[in-house]
Amino acid sequence: MHIAIASDHAGYPLKEILREHLSRQGHEVLDCGTHSAESCDYPDFAKVAASAVNDGKAQRGVLICGSGIGMCIAANRFPNVRAAVLHDTTDAELSRHHNDANVACFGARELPEEEVMRLLDLFLATPFDGGRHERRVEKLRHLC
């Protein structure tokens, strides 16, 4: 799977861990920055990764900032992106089953790295249920 990954400075160390984790699993990872722990602005990097998902250059995205919230807000400004902040297995599964989320957002200050890796793997492995949820997801494309 092609996966775009990005972070701000707060998420940089976790991004590096997740990038390597995904590569070891055989995914093609597009690293959209940041490339250091130097202070930066999360929208700049969310834009690059979310654009890759929006335009079909990546099938999934992973965004990391301090809380996951800022990255999620930025990513959801793109019409073909459905980003969700993941805190637990329910978030990881339902965001895929019901919402066909294609971008997982994490708060680097919220969860241990092992838990983030577990949630990311679950997110990537969980299929979209379709059916009645398909109609609802399609409506998201036409809200604005």
Catalytic residue numbers read 98
> CA–CA distance from 112 to each of 74, 87, 106, 107 (Å)?
24, 11, 11, 10
For the range 26-31, what are the long-range contacts, defined as Cβ-Cβ under 8 Å and sequence gap of 24 or more? 27/1, 27/2, 27/3, 28/1, 28/2, 28/3, 29/3, 29/4, 29/5, 30/2, 30/3, 30/4, 30/5, 30/57, 30/58, 31/5, 31/6
